[in-house]
Amino acid sequence: MIFRTSVIASAALALVATMVEAHSWADCVDWRFNDPAKPGWRASDGKCFGWARQYPVNSGVQFGGLDSSSPSRHYQQNPKDFVPCSDHNHGIEPGADETRQSPISKAYGGRFGAMAAATAGQEICVRWPAKNHAKKDEPNNRVMINMPQTILTKDPSQSGFTAANIAKLDYKNCNQIAGDTDHTPCGGCFKVPAALVSGTYVIQWRWMLNNDEYYTSCWDLQVKATGGSATATPVVAGLGNSTTVFADLAEDN
């Protein structure tokens, strides 16, 4: 009886620890509402058309459950280096590999989700699980959407991403599920900058839970230009630790 009680107590403590330590990530990076007049983040409210890099869409894990999978999708940056996109190695909580692939398309298709696509100036929506952090007593810290408006040959540093912020989304914009604050779906929408040339851009979802405690997800977005923006003159510029080029580069570059 004592042994059984100890096992039950240990299991309960493990469950509590999981709930306390659960942190979020971008579950879908191109969420489209079934009815734009009635936006929502539940499975019945819409469908996903784009995912973060190397996102396991056929994992069979329920929504919001990939923090307990291997590799985990929640990546906590280490303030010592702030590696911007998880490389499955760095971080206080290393996550799955979300580094830029060569070619970029290698991170999408097959067992991974599709790459997101949009037209310059279009609104695009992102979804994430609440992971017990959208309750009334939790702070409504913003989700930063960081998108360098140049076509890159490699991912920028975190300072480069931070300088390229294009939107701030309310973390607690959720469809609350009674009795399940862990798997409650949340999300927000932002506009892709209108003056972009056609090409593939990188975007970072970054959320601060506590001071200097950041979680990120990274993905690539195929953008189709509108109007005269498609004929922009190529320009080389510095962005953090990266070299950027205003040009319609092939994704293999």
Assigned CATH for 24-245: 2.60.40.2950
| pLDDT confidence of residue 14 | 38
The Cα–Cα gap between 196 and 175 comes to 33
Would you call 52 exposed, middle or buried from its count of C-beta atoms within 10 A (0-12, 13-18, 19+)?
buried
| DSSP string for residues in the chain | -HHHHHHHHHHHHHHHHHHHH-----SBSSEEESSTTS---STTTEEE---STT-BTTS-PPTT-TTSSSS-S--BPPTTT--SS-BSSSSSB--SB-SPPSSGGGGSSTTBPPPEEEETT-EEEEEEE-TT-SSTTS--PEEEEE--SSEESSPPPHHHHHHTEEEEEETT-B---TT-SSS-EEEEEEEPPTTPPSEEEEEEEEEEEETTEEEEEEEEEEEE--GGGGGPPP-EEEETTEEEE-S---TT-
Tell me the β-bridge partners of 220. 202
Least confident of 132-136, 207-211, 225-229: 225-229
Tell me which residue of 91, 94, 95 sits closest to 73, measured CA to CA. Answer: 95
Whether the upstream peptide bond of residue 36 has omega within 30° of 0, thus cis, is no
Domain ranges of the chain: 24-245
More confident residue, 250 or 106: 106
| pLDDT confidence of residue 119 | 98
Q: Across the chain, what does the average pLDDT equal? A: 85
pLDDT band at 248 (very low <50, low <70, confident <90, very high): very low
- Whether 228 shows a pLDDT value over 80: the answer reads no
The Cα–Cα gap between 80 and 60 comes to 35
| pLDDT confidence of residue 242 | 36
pTM above 0.85, yes or no: no
Question: Mean pLDDT throughout 169-186?
Answer: 94
pLDDT band at 111 (very low <50, low <70, confident <90, very high): very high
